[in-house]
Chain A
């Protein structure tokens, strides 16, 4: 994993606007994530959280503003080049390939340029023993929980040190959600930087160092974990939590 000796943020977004065709979805997003932090992006459906993740990866339509990864500007780069700045993206829809086996899915993302391999295949199978059992199964024949583990597991091998996780707890049984929570704490201990989009407040709250709340394509609230209690009334109003 590449190390960052200085205090340059892992991710710095300034005045980000993004469109899908003619639809103006993000109206000036400002967001900073420091190395080794876990940051959670909260908000109602349609607030623009997934669009923000996609915009970082260059998967939206037009973009304007500044997105710096490790201090380097990426706003004008094509998607496949952005990934090599050390980003691992786990999309909301998981995107497990049905024409690949479980093992092929796991090994598909290449090791990123300028990084050494992240976790080894063996380490990932140790963390997710189910995936080892189901190695040869067709990717989409795995259960929802297994597909989620696969979607996260495959980006851990690439040497990515900034992880974008979009709704990884969605639709999963509580026992699997707990396993994912333990995984995130473990990743944090290992020095990964994590940005999470989460609807499940009870899952995300104990994990994050800082929180951003989005509404109508901008950030409306930002606070640290130690301010969470004080912010509960505001969150209640914004999110119906």
Chain B
């Protein structure tokens, strides 16, 4: 079956799925970035490196300890989250009172350290990682072949993103986070240990990035540089979506992934720049972002 635009349906749907997969990574990473920026006022450039660290830990778990994908899916975020807590307590807390630029510079430095150390050990060529046996192969849906692992990535990401959104917007814990983002001093005056909440929030954002990294390991080549390519696009996603809304970050990430995927089908030359093109337009027309609130 062929559309009159000349693209066979299975090919179109397959690109759409790839777009959704990328969109899922954009959503998870921009969500973590937005939450961290909201509460800590830090532009966490290290997000890409921590995503990469999650993937490398998954590979290392298999390589050195024979730990399978499912174990690392839980363990890698925990380890990365612990590193995040350490980074916050030893480095980040000194720069909160300063201009945003210092947060960006500090986390850029952290990125270079993490990437540099891993690059010196493993080089820049990829570390092989296959999907778990359970998710290998594809399912025949009739109108297309659905790659099992990629479908899992989209489903797992959506579940995690929705769970995060629900926790932040609908629970008491989320209320503390939202209030703490608005006026941390008053929340502290109510007796809430805001410094602890800040530390744990950063740890959570990092864990989320690492979780995305483990999900990515079988589909994106695991290498110390895999975060670099992604983080720039994620920044653009965050700018487009705006910082104010959790659901906004998720929808924008997914949407831009799909747009990127579709662009690859119809105008492949533009696929790596379409996100930035959209970012420029959004900045001109709606600087706070599509879902953003003017601060």
Contacts from A to B (Cβ < 8 Å): 57, 59, 78-81, 83-84, 89, 91, 95, 97-100, 104, 107-110, 112-113, 155, 158
Contact = CB atoms under 8 A, between A and B. Distances in A.
A147 to B, nearest CB: 13
A80 B188 contact: yes
A11 to B, nearest CB: 16
Contact of A99 (B181, B186, B188, B195): B181
Interface residues on B, range: 10 to 19
Contact of B190 (A59, A100, A109): A109
Contacts of B144: none
Given A80-B193, A83-B191, A107-B172, A91 B178 contact: no
A57 B189 CA distance: 7
B182 A97 contact: yes
A100 B179 contact: yes
Q: Which 9 A-B pairs have the closest CB atoms?
A: A83-B191, A109-B190, A99-B178, A95-B186, A79-B188, A97-B179, A80-B188, A89-B189, A104-B175
Interface in B167-193: 172, 175-176, 178-179, 181-183, 185-193
- The residue in B185, B187, B191 that gathers the most chain A C-beta atoms within 10 A of its C-beta is B191
Given A100-B175, A108-B176, A83 B190 contact: yes
A108 B189 contact: no
Contact of A100 (B178, B189, B194, B195): B178
Interface in B14-60: none
A79 B194 CA distance: 10
A97 B184 CA distance: 11
Given A83-B190, A107-B172, A109-B192, 9 more contacts: A57-B189, A59-B189, A79-B189, A80-B188, A83-B191, A89-B190, A91-B186, A99-B178, A109-B190
29 contacts: A59-B185, A78-B188, A78-B195, A79-B185, A79-B188, A79-B189, A80-B189, A80-B192, A80-B193, A80-B194, A83-B189, A83-B190, A83-B191, A84-B191, A89-B186, A89-B189, A91-B186, A91-B189, A95-B183, A95-B186, A98-B182, A99-B178, A99-B179, A99-B181, A100-B179, A108-B176, A109-B192, A110-B191, A112-B191
B191 A108 contact: no
A112 B190 CA distance: 8
Contact of B191 (A59, A97, A100, A109): A109
Contacts of B192: 80, 109-110
B197 to A, nearest CB: 10
B288 to A, nearest CB: 15
Contact of A158 (B181, B186, B190): B190
Contacts of A91: 186, 189
A168 to B, nearest CB: 15
Nearest to B194: A80
Contacts of B178: 97, 99-100
